Chains A and B, each alone.
Chain A
């Protein structure tokens, strides 16, 4: 991001919606997500003056902290963000409270109700509450039940529950969890969060598609030959080995983040910009999606696991050598697969999806490759003309890029590819909000547009069921291909595309 002065004419022009007075209750307040993402996002909203003065944050966890301990631990964890704005933090922290709660103990949750009433009186939060379940997934169902039993979800207008990923482990468990949470409250009270949807650039896919007349007519099988969706990380498993060993890349990234990017890229045009209209279109496209070969999934899916790599000076250990990882682990840290969407718009267009840890670059992007011109009138500098590509860069270097052929300067008539660029940095010069800033605000505003609905989650799990069953029942049919750290993944993934005469984009 370019260091630059703020545009003084931009200040105050953003039309932000008004968050109603309320108390945000975070379960799992002693956890990593709370101090890494949630409290910083709330502090950001506070500094942007988007939180009402009648706002309170109540942290809940099993640890016997006091209000003051909670405030100081958060301040310590947030480091410079607090040190740079001490006065703002002091004001914000005055609305922070803590209550020791074990969600499995009904008496704790009843006691929580009393504390919330006390906060309502103290901070004028008007019994309006958002409950954020940032706890282990095994407590989602019990947590919702405990809140409902204590009468805390009774008023659908004034109570809502935010549930972190993963929502279920497979299709069956997602269905069961949906049944439980829908028994505790109405669907419009449930906010299943996927922080990728909070990213400005993911939302921009919708704006690019539906606010410009030039894209939608060609956004289909007649003009697009393939789509690649990539989310690559350079980091390894770090301190998340315990969780990652039970999840793997398929559950951790593909079923949620990548599938959401796929849904937004491939969905039909909603009739209007309305939460239900958008979520219905996303659900429909996921219901029409399938693995390229459902009967023999090993033909369309590659699993990989990073091995050692790096250089002599900075060696990188392999996944199996990471602390907390089983030395014989068969958990995948890389997945690449090919999907089809059986509808009128996308029939026959392959969607290639890949994600992995310890890859060569950190990036997320969607690449739409267009069909070649039917007749080649000109010689191309590269032998044959490069297919047009529209690249939507989600992160980093957020923006978009369009590749097309132009005349190469000179007396002949040779063509060569060039790029037309849009960069958020160059056009706006200001960083976009963290995904959690947008999503927390939306949840408190009861706006579910960027949250996944029950049928979307189930459709996403159902899409990968053949793979999950195969991994469960016959893992040897979907072997783990080792790859060197900081490379672009196993060679088998390249072969997956090579069979179709294609290459993964190497940005």
Chain B
């Protein structure tokens, strides 16, 4: 899907004049001013990798802040050129941090917030506010405003317009610009805050932006794993509506594993699980821990103990021991697996093995594996006598904007109760 441009050239206004300008734009006495009565989306849009790729001359720009193939390809090339581990996600912090050490001073137009991905524009947001921090931390605040009308590709339909507001500048200048935000978020519309960057990069700003009743959307695959899980658990516990894109991407694993146990004759096996192993890409275990915690929560397991990374042996797996309701212990192991062509999303699950030994009946081994890898590692060892169920989990190779649209389309105005139950447990697994 190609991004859609605003219909007007964005107007640069002093921050204090933005609310008045927008009020006039949508005042009811103006003819043809049909503002969509939908929702507001406030986006933290650092696009650090894209900015660094432009600065070092690896791509030409303009900077758009939208995940696109050109940026992903350049990110993958940079991983090789910078001698980073092959499992490094091409758009992750490691790439931007390494690029930051490379010389370069190329510049380009910065159109962040002015290009709206079609997946989002079809949802007709009333207002998109983009906070676009620049690499130059001393850059002063600029405020841009434009009206915006998504035009349905197939024509027809009611065109309901919205507007985009862009706050651009150094992080400090953006902090100062926060005061202008509150009047830009109408009380009668739901507001979402999408933190589209590492969760630990600016905790104070994240705190200020995501005040309740604004709904928070984050990606627990971005940032320090412990920090991500603790933040997720804390926010969920506070009662704020929180949605996690990393959890959303777990959907096909949830569905496939549930599907295995839909036939009634397999249900009993769920009460007799004796081992759970999960493989994840690279060194970001959050998605694997969330999946394990969801299984544990649904099956009524309690956490007995955890074992983190073993520095002596170099084993970076995470191990834990759960206890089933009948007292039987269930070991869990979440293991990092190197990948030659990692996903753009760090720490994606590549495989799951669940072994079950019912008292009356044969043992059963369920192996799920991602399309990106195989099940070879999980197939190894001692399961010849078991009933083997293998499924390939279909993965959606979508960009983050499409994930966002999926989430917003679902009308999720509260936290997912399954995530709310799994996140605190996942956080404990990392402590």
Contact = CB atoms under 8 A, between A and B. Distances in A.
Interface residues of A, number: 19
A425 B263 CA distance: 8
Interface in A1-32: 2, 4-5, 7-13, 15, 17-18
A429 B270 CA distance: 15
A2 B264 contact: yes
A426 B263 contact: yes
B397 interface: no
Contacts of A429: 262-264, 267
Nearest to B414: A18
Which of B257, B261, B262, B417 has the most chain A CB atoms inside 10 A of its CB? Answer: B262
A426 B299 CA distance: 22
Given A429-B262, A429-B263, A9 B410 contact: no
A9 B368 CA distance: 15
A428 interface: yes
Contact of A9 (B263, B270, B416): B270
Interface in B229-269: 254-255, 257-258, 261-264, 267
Interface in A31-58: none
B375 interface: no
A5 B262 contact: no
B298 interface: yes
Range class of the B interface residue count = 20 to 34
B243 to A, nearest CB: 13
A311 interface: no
Contacts of A17: 410-411
Contacts of B320: none
A9 B291 CA distance: 11
Contacts of B416: 12
Which of B264, B299, B300 has the most chain A CB atoms inside 10 A of its CB? Answer: B264
B212 interface: no
B312 to A, nearest CB: 36
A7 B254 contact: no
A425 B262 CA distance: 10
A427 interface: yes
Contact of B254 (A8, A9, A428): A9
Nearest to A17: B411
A5 B298 CA distance: 13
Interface in B373-420: 410-411, 413, 416-418
A7 B262 contact: yes
Given A5-B267, A17-B411, A18-B411, A12 B417 contact: yes
Contacts of A426: 263-264
Interface of B: 254-255, 257-258, 261-264, 267, 270, 295, 298-300, 410-411, 413, 416-418
Interface of A: 2, 4-5, 7-13, 15, 17-18, 425-430
Nearest 6 interchain pairs by C-beta: A429-B264, A9-B258, A4-B264, A18-B411, A8-B298, A10-B258
Given A9-B298, A12-B417, A430-B262, 13 more contacts: A4-B264, A4-B267, A7-B261, A8-B298, A9-B257, A9-B295, A10-B261, A12-B418, A13-B254, A13-B255, A18-B413, A427-B262, A429-B263
